Amino acid sequence: MMHYTGTIWRPPYEASSLLLEVTAGCTHHRCKFCTLYTDLPFKFRMSPLEDIEADLKEAQKMYRPFIGRKPARTFLTGANPFVLKYDRLMEIAELIHKFFPRMETIGSFARVTDVTQKSDGELTALHEAGYDRLTIGIETADDEALKFMNKGYFAADILEQCKRLEQAGIRYSFFYLTGISGAGRGEIGAKATAAVCNKLHPLLIGANMLTIYPDSELYQEIRHGNWKEERETEKYREVRTLVEALEIPVIFAALGASNAFQMQETLPRDKEKLLAFLDNVIKNVGEDELRRYRESVRHL
């Protein structure tokens, strides 16, 4: 049996990747809105190399009967496996290539701060070893929201560390969290995020919508009157503002269950189409219906 601990999260576009557990949980574990990885009895754990090797051996057996269906990509699981030290990431890449010599790329979720600790030379060597197309949950580039939510970095860090990834040849996608700026500030957050994205080259910006659960710290902040949630229609105006302000070629997607309306389009080509779709939601779907959807999202 492959070692999979707790709920395994992966981006929608990693559906055909080999999911390999090299970590479980999150080293940060402090974002106020987050209720992910709370089903684990620990905050963060690194998998023993023996477990990783045993899983690769098993995966090799599973793929053998399906000639021609070899995975071309591995997705390392956990909230931020890219936090692992350079040497460990290189050992993992070596193991993957030992069992799957034709594996082309290795991806994972990453925090901005995971990049900070690696030298430029290390990033380049990681890229040469196959690391590419990371998914970074920046959430926003609105410093006020990043501070309040305890994300552990600011807009300037996103810019600096993603430029370093680009220099090393490592491509990446972003997750954006619609609603993170709070009532009355959605469009401010969207503009701040677009301004940072416009200086970078993410492959895709995937928007999720804030859904607040009672076991989050944010829920307590709301109860104490320290923070106010955006109305659902404000969240859609925020998405519209973000799409409108993006000037770079990028795929814009909103695919997860937190979005009442799913969308994926290529910018700038499909910008007008996407804006018209969002205008239609804002104009014709009322707050009550959107709120009912939000309340129906029992878990992410």
- In this chain, which of 28, 118, 171, 235 binds ligand SF4, going by CB under 6 A? 28
- In this chain, which of 24, 34, 138, 263 binds ligand SF4, going by CB under 6 A? 34
Count CB neighbours of 253 within 10 A.
23
31 binds ligand SF4 (CB under 6 A): yes
**Cβ closer to ligand SF4: 137 or 182?**
137
Tell me the C-alpha distance between 271 and 73, whole Å. 30
**Cβ closer to ligand SF4: 196 or 278?**
196
Partners of residue 136 on adjacent β-strands: 110, 174
**Cβ closer to ligand SF4: 150 or 264?**
150
Please list, in sequence order, all residues whose beta carbon lies within 8 angstroms of the beta carbon of residue 270, skipping any fewer than 6 positions away: none
- In this chain, which of 36, 158, 190, 260 binds ligand SF4, going by CB under 6 A? 36
Count CB neighbours of 3 within 10 A.
16
29 binds ligand SF4 (CB under 6 A): yes
**Cβ closer to ligand SF4: 31 or 218?**
31
Largest CA distance in the chain: 59
**Size of the residue set binding ligand SF4 (CB under 6 A):** 11
Stretch of 21-29, 94-102, 126-134, 140-148 lying at the interface with ligand SF4 (CB under 6 A): 21-29
- From residue 291, give the alpha-carbon distance in Å to each of 17, 30, 120, 168, 206: 34, 27, 46, 43, 21
Tell me if the bond preceding 81 is cis, omega within 30° of 0.
no
**Cβ closer to ligand SF4: 40 or 267?**
40
- In this chain, which of 59, 79, 155, 162 binds ligand SF4, going by CB under 6 A? 79
Give the footprint of ligand SF4 on residues 85-144 (CB under 6 A). 111, 137
Q: Whole-number minimum distance, CB 218 to ligand SF4, in Å?
A: 11
158 binds ligand SF4 (CB under 6 A): no
**Cβ closer to ligand SF4: 31 or 246?**
31
Q: What is the contact mask toward ligand SF4 in residues 230 to 259, using x (rule: CB under 6 A)? A: ------------------------------
Give the footprint of ligand SF4 on residues 170-199 (CB under 6 A). none
78 binds ligand SF4 (CB under 6 A): no
- In this chain, which of 18, 20, 26, 96 binds ligand SF4, going by CB under 6 A? 26
Q: Whole-number minimum distance, CB 9 to ligand SF4, in Å?
A: 8
Q: What is the CA radius of gyration of the chain?
A: 20
Structure tokens at 105: 């790329």
Contact positions vs ligand SF4 (CB under 6 A): 26, 28-31, 34, 36-37, 79, 111, 137
